[in-house]
Structure 1
Amino acid sequence: MADIEEARKTFEQFDADGDGFITAAEWKSAMARMGDFYQTEAVAEAVIGTKDTDADKRLSFDEFWASLNK
């Protein structure tokens, strides 16, 4: 099981606008900051889609946390 405080810190790094959700654009940008310059928006959408349980095309912290604990 992941540490929830570390997960929150990571989530906040991805959630650039601080609205409580990670979009594909934010995911792509965060991955680029971590050195993955080849991640496309389509790939980011697919990654989010695998974790997005309510199909709103955004990742909430609860969805992010759940995906870490699978």
Structure 2
Amino acid sequence: MASIEEARASFDRFDADKDGLVTAEEYKRAMAEMGDPYVTVPVAETLIAQRDTDEDGMMSFEEFWNALRKE
């Protein structure tokens, strides 16, 4: 498991506008920048939904961190 500092750094790569939430578009863009241009918005929406405990359609750091701790 990653440390909370490592998790925050990873989350920040996805949170392009630094509002504390990752949207499907931000997720897609970050994955493309990291070398995976095949992640589409619908795929990103599905991946976010798996971690989105408050069902707002976005992933917060808390949701991201909780998902990492369960792995």
Same-fold call, TM > 0.5? Answer: yes
TM-score, L = length of structure 1: 0.97
Residue aligning to 2:30:
30
* Letter paired with 1:67: A
Q: Could you say what the CA RMSD is over the residues aligned between the two structures, in angstroms?
A: 0.6
Aligned residues: 70
1:57 aligns to what SS in structure 2?
coil
2:31 aligns to what SS in structure 1?
helix
Structure 1 residue 2, shift from structure 2 partner: 2.2
- In the TM superposition, structure 1's runs of 4+ consecutive aligned residues that sit over 2 Å from their partners are none
Stretches of structure 1 that go unaligned for 5 or more consecutive residues are: none
Residue aligning to 1:8:
8
Residue aligning to 2:44:
44
Stretches of structure 2 that go unaligned for 5 or more consecutive residues are: none
* Letter paired with 2:51: K
In structure 2, what is the Cα distance between the partners aligned to 1:3 and 1:58? 22
Identity %: 59
TM-score, L = length of structure 2: 0.96
